Amino acid sequence: MSSDQITITPSSPHIGAEIGNIDLTKPLSDRQLADLRAAFLKYGVIFFREQDLSFADQMRLAEYFGHVHIHVGGAGTASKPAEGYPAIRLQHFDAKSKRISGEVWHSDQSCSEIPPDGSILIQKILPPDGGGDTLFASAYAAYDALSEPMKALLEPLSAEHDGAKLFDRSATVYPTAIHPVVTRHRETGRKLLFVNAGFTTRIVDLPRDESDAVLKYLFDHIAKPHWQMRFRWRENSVAFWDNRCTQHFAIWDYWPNVRSGYRVQFEGVSRPAR
């Protein structure tokens, strides 16, 4: 194996792969970057182990993929900007935490007109007895599994995504956005389900009772185990997900223990589209 050839170990049939033979504390070669980009698009979420990233390393990795993104949730979210790096969010939860970030199926900030394309999360401290895993689901596979009549029903519909549904309501006014219920990934061209329990409030083309029933069905559908995987973190593990075609759920089963890490995101370049 040549020195800059990454290894790829799929995590499940529909989503996720662990990447080896790479040191993310160093600048990447063109080949490494091309291989990582291809793996990111193919697997939806890629994982790395034993990467002792500084903030500068985490920023450099994000900047290979896009402009870094400043989180839209402001003071109402459970995370905070890292000292000196406003684009990096400290996600630290401990005995004093009243809630954590992302304990519901969601894609990050789908309440934005243009949600971030990707997120890169590293964990630095993990609970001593395990726990704090993250679930990831493929929104492609969830869409593919729907019947043709259900796909035909959903394709012309659009839904509202509201930041106030997920973030703490006391703080501020949050963005809302209307996105198609079924979108097409800008780079892979694949169709996927783009509603999530964290942010999606209603299907704007349907009366409220029909919207509630269809969304409940879709949220339950996304949460089925068939297109999911569960990532067990270790210190200095990194998860790097494509926010356009995956959803995730952070499990808070470790209170009062500490789980602490840092997340950076990079911006999308266009609205989610059919």
Residue 18 token pair:
């662990």
Q: Report H helices in the chain.
A: 30-43, 55-65, 139-144, 148-154, 163-166, 208-222
Q: By C-beta, is 108 or 160 nearer to ligand SIN?
A: 108
Count H helices and E strands in the chain, helices first: 6, 16
71, 92, 244, 248: the active-site residue: 248
Give alpha helix (H) positions in 170-243. Answer: 208-222
Angstrom distances, CA of residue 8 to CA of 18, 38, 123, 140: 6, 11, 21, 20
Identified binder of ligand SIN from the candidate list 263, 266, 268, 272, rule CB under 6 A: 263
Q: Smallest distance, Å, CB 39 to ligand SIN?
A: 20
Binding marks (x or -) toward ligand SIN, 81..120, rule CB under 6 A? ----------x---------xx-----x----------x-
Least Cβ distance, residue 27 to ligand SIN (angstroms): 26
Angstrom CA distances, 82 to 48, 88, 167, 242, stand at 22, 5, 19, 22
Catalytic residue among 71, 106, 202, 259: 106
Catalytic residue selected from 108, 117, 162, 242 = 108
Shortest Cβ 249–ligand SIN spacing (Å): 8
List beta partners, residue 183.
192
80-82 and 246-250 beta bridge pairing: unpaired
Span 232-251, contacts to ligand SIN by CB under 6 A: 248, 250
What binding mask, one character per residue, do residues 123-142 give for ligand SIN by CB under 6 A, x or -? -----------x--------
What are residue 42's phi and psi, to 5 degrees? -75, -45
Q: Which is nearer to ligand SIN, 136 or 227 (CB)?
A: 136
Size of interface with ligand SIN, in residues (CB under 6 A): 10
**Per residue in 233-249, is it b (16+ CB within 10 Å) or e — as a string?**
beebbbbbbbbbbbbbb
106 catalytic residue (yes or no): yes
Residue 33 near residue 61, CB atoms below 8 Å: no
By beta carbon distance, the residue nearest ligand SIN is 102
**Do 47 and 237 contact (CB within 8 A), yes or no?**
yes
Distance linking the first and last C-alpha atoms of the chain? 41
Please say which residue, 191 or 263, places its beta carbon nearer to ligand SIN. 263
CB of 79 vs ligand SIN, minimal distance in Å: 8
Among residues 47 and 227, whose Cβ is nearest to ligand SIN? 47
Minimum distance, C-beta of residue 239 to ligand SIN, in the bound complex (Å): 7
Shortest spacing between CB 89 and ligand SIN, in angstroms: 8
263 is an active site residue: yes
Binding site for ligand SIN (CB under 6 A): 91, 101-102, 108, 119, 121, 134, 248, 250, 263
The catalytic residue positions are 106, 108, 248, 263
